[in-house]
């Protein structure tokens, strides 16, 4: 895999966010007797860093090189332990619960849940450390990341400086658009897809016109309190009312359209049960799907799939808790070296030499410089192919061979266009309604995917699902969420 696929991790982050998990095997010993101060003759501190991604063959070799650099800069060495995507959540829960030595932990809205674990006490509250040892971070990363990732008023991690808003787009297989001369300039709403889907259904019997999987939820102008659970607040709200998304006019209309598309054969019969659309995108046998975008996303998709992909907006760029919390590095609550961990995170987010070594490996081994801040991967890059989005400030990464000179300026412009969700920074605490939440989850597993993918008729099944959610205690959960949100609105003078 080249660097183009590496950076694709940025995008798959959102798509994978339901299954993202971080894990690690084995321990490591912190040098508890070492003084936490740089320089001098003090014994260097070893920082243990657990992060997400397929374990790479050359990770120890690269960390030896990283450690030479960090030892000189802050008198600390680094031991990285990678846990594969599918194992991360479960393994990290076990490791943290068992008190395994660790200093830095990757966490996110969808991988080893950031808010939940901050509240459980897995992460250190870092307000003071950030002021004392993280000045470079405060000066460097978009302030919306730090404010939007506060939990109950405090910071528990350093978000990666990357794309800030969440924006849905319709993605199209350009080969099929060109073949049938299809125009996407007026595509925006779900309904506007219909003429294109109809053409492909008639002319390409082996193609799935509308690619989607069981995680699909139609784009509606609401922000969910918890990802894809029925409680939501309208994006243009003035009263901050929490509603059951299934009872809104916008969702009812979307579900009717989805069912119409399903009956017309535009959607795969298996959509409600398949976990991803990877097989479709690999084969090229699809016309349109929906994804979350970022600058230059079309280049990444084309590089990953091997054919051209184009996109057009399906929503405005909105800054949500999920987008701000897409990639965070927390300091473990039982770290023996919290000050040194913060010094390291400060260096990682401000020092291009360190950040690029962690991202791309060793110059002359994994990559070569082909310009002052531009690199080309070498053959050995396949042994150190890291998910860039999970490793800190992206805006100081070298450019890849085919990146435009203004790549990071494009990211900054994209971020500046983001509109904050009205509930950005509000994190619902479901502790008091844990029993109801478990019951709601059970109902969701029964009805949600089949409704959202258009597999069943909403006129028949939506009233049943709404009744089942109510029986499971959804009204009580919404009342609790409303009370918390009202208090938050009052406190934050919204």
One-character DSSP codes across 359-424 = HH--BTTTEEEEETTEEEE-GGGGGS---GGGSS-GGGSPBPTT--TTHHHHHHHHHHH-EE-TTT
Confidence of residue 111 (pLDDT cuts 50, 70, 90): confident
Q: Does residue 208 surpass a pLDDT of 70?
A: yes
Which of the residue ranges 4-8, 281-285, 391-395 would you say has the lowest mean pLDDT? 4-8
Measure the N-to-C terminal CA separation of the chain; round to a whole number of Å.
47
Instruction: Please report the DSSP string for 219-245 in residue order.
Output: --SEEESSTTSSEEEETT-SS---EEG
The answer as to whether 124 is a domain residue is: yes
Q: Does residue 25 surpass a pLDDT of 90?
A: no
Q: Does residue 457 surpass a pLDDT of 80?
A: yes
Q: CB 171: neighbour CB atoms within 10 A?
A: 24
Q: Does residue 9 surpass a pLDDT of 90?
A: no
Stretch 60-73: mean pLDDT, rounded? 98
The answer as to whether 120 is a domain residue is: yes
CA atoms within 13 A on the CB side of 309: 26
What one-character DSSP code corresponds to residue 332? B
Write out the two tokens for 472. 């499971």
Encode 419-482 in three state secondary structure: EECCCCCCCCCCHHHHHHHHHHHHHHHHHHHHHHCCCCCHHHHHHHHHHHHHHHCHHHHHHHHH
Which domain CATH number covers 108?
A: 3.40.190.10
For residue 115, the model assigns a pLDDT of: 95
CA geometry: angle 331, 336, 340, nearest 5 deg: 65
Please compute Rg for the chain using Cα positions. 23
The answer as to whether 189 is a domain residue is: no
Q: Does residue 432 surpass a pLDDT of 80?
A: yes
Average pLDDT, the chain: 92
For the four alpha carbons of 27, 107, 115 and 334, in that order, the dihedral sign comes to positive
Report the candidate in 328, 325, 327, 492 with the shortest Cα–Cα distance to residue 422: 492
The answer as to whether 89 is a domain residue is: yes
- Residue pair 21/90 in contact (Cβ under 8 Å)? The answer is yes
Q: Could you read off the pLDDT of 247-278 as tens digits, one per residue?
A: 999 999 999 999 999 999 999 999 999 988 98
Stretch 284-298: mean pLDDT, rounded? 97
Confidence of residue 120 (pLDDT cuts 50, 70, 90): very high
Stretch 294-311: mean pLDDT, rounded? 95
Q: What are residue 170's DSSP bridge partners?
A: 290, 312
CA geometry: angle 375, 417, 422, nearest 5 deg: 125
Q: Could you read off the pLDDT of 215-254 as tens digits, one per residue?
A: 999 999 999 999 889 999 999 999 999 999 999 999 999 9
Confidence of residue 20 (pLDDT cuts 50, 70, 90): very low
More confident residue, 86 or 310: 310
User: What is the domain range of residue 391?
Assistant: 16-162+323-419
For residue 22, the model assigns a pLDDT of: 33
- Residue 284 CA to residue 275 CA, distance in Å, equals 18
Q: How many separate helices (H) and strands (E) can be counted in the chain?
A: 20, 18
Q: Could you read off the pLDDT of 344-358 as tens digits, one per residue?
A: 999 999 999 999 999
Stretch 105-123: mean pLDDT, rounded? 94
For residue 21, the model assigns a pLDDT of: 35
Q: What order do you get walking across the sheet with 168-173 strand by strand?
A: 208-210, 286-292, 168-173, 309-313
The answer as to whether 117 is a domain residue is: yes
Stretch 329-357: mean pLDDT, rounded? 98
For residue 304, the model assigns a pLDDT of: 87
Confidence of residue 117 (pLDDT cuts 50, 70, 90): very high
The answer as to whether 382 is a domain residue is: yes
| Residue 437: partners with Cβ closer than 8 Å, 6 or more residues away | 430, 477
- Residue 447 CA to residue 464 CA, distance in Å, equals 9
For residue 474, the model assigns a pLDDT of: 98
Overall domain count for the chain? 1
The answer as to whether 224 is a domain residue is: no
Between the CA of residue 409 and those of 83, 101, 302, 395, 403, what are the distances in Å? 32, 39, 21, 9, 12
Q: Does residue 424 surpass a pLDDT of 50?
A: yes
Stretch 436-453: mean pLDDT, rounded? 97
The answer as to whether 424 is a domain residue is: no
For residue 271, the model assigns a pLDDT of: 96
pTM: 0.88
What one-character DSSP code corresponds to residue 75? S
For residue 90, the model assigns a pLDDT of: 95
Q: Does residue 296 surpass a pLDDT of 70?
A: yes
Stretch 176-198: mean pLDDT, rounded? 98
For residue 41, the model assigns a pLDDT of: 65
Between the CA of residue 73 and those of 37, 78, 351, 403, what are the distances in Å? 11, 12, 11, 30
Confidence of residue 33 (pLDDT cuts 50, 70, 90): very low
Which of the residue ranges 35-39, 40-44, 256-260, 282-286 would you say has the lowest mean pLDDT? 35-39
């Amino acid at each position: 895999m080249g660097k183009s696929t590496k950076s694709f991790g940025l995008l798959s982050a959102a798509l994978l966010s339901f299954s993202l998990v971080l894990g690690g095997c084995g321990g490591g010993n912190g040098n508890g007797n070492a003084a936490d101060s740089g320089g001098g003759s003090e014994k260097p501190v070893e920082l243990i860093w657990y992060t997400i991604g397929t374990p790479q063959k050359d990770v120890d070799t690269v960390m030896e090189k990283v450690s030479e650099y960090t030892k000189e800069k802050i008198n600390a060495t680094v031991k990285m332990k990678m846990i594969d995507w599918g194992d991360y959540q479960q393994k990290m829960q076990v490791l943290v619960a068992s008190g395994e030595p660790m200093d830095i932990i990757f966490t996110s809205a969808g991988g080893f849940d950031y808010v939940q674990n901050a509240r459980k006490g897995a992460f250190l509250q870092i307000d003071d450390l950030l002021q004392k040892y993280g000045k470079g971070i405060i000066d460097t990363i978009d302030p919306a990341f730090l404010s939007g990732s506060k939990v109950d008023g405090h910071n528990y991690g350093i978000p990666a400086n990357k794309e800030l808003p969440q924006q849905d787009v319709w993605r199209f297989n350009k080969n099929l658009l060109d073949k049938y001369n299809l125009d996407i300039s007026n595509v925006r709403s779900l309904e506007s897809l219909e003429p294109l889907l109809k053409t492909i259904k008639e002319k390409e019997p082996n193609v799935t016109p509308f690619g989607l999987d069981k995680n699909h939820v139609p784009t509606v102008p609401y922000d969910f309190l918890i990802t894809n659970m029925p409680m939501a607040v309208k994006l243009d709200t003035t009263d901050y009312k929490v509603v059951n998304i299934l009872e809104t006019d916008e969702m009812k209309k979307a579900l009717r359209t989805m069912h119409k598309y399903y009956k017309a054969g535009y959607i795969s019969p298996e959509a409600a049960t398949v976990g991803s659309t990877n097989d479709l995108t690999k084969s090229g046998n699809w016309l349109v799907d929906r994804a979350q975008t970022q600058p230059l996303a079309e280049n990444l998709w084309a590089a990953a799939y091997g054919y051209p992909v184009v996109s057009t907006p399906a929503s405005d760029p909105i800054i949500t808790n999920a987008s701000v919390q897409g990639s965070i590095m927390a300091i473990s609550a039982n770290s023996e070296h919290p000050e040194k961990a913060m010094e390291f995170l400060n260096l990682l987010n401000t020092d291009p030499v360190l950040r690029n070594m962690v991202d791309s490996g060793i110059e002359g081994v994994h990559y070569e410089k082909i310009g002052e801040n531009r690199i080309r991967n070498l053959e050995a890059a396949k042994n150190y192919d890291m998910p860039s989005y999970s490793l800190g400030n992206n805006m100081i990464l070298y450019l890849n061979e085919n990146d435009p000179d203004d790549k990071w300026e494009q990211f900054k412009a994209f971020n500046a266009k983001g509109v904050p969700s009205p509930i950005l920074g509000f994190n619902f605490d479901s502790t008091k309604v844990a029993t109801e939440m478990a019951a709601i989850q059970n109902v969701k597993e029964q009805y949600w995917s089949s409704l959202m993918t258009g597999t069943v008729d909403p006129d028949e099944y939506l009233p049943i699902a709404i009744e089942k959610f109510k029986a499971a205690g959804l009204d009580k959960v919404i009342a609790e969420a409303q009370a918390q949100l009202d208090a938050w609105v009052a406190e934050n003078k919204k």
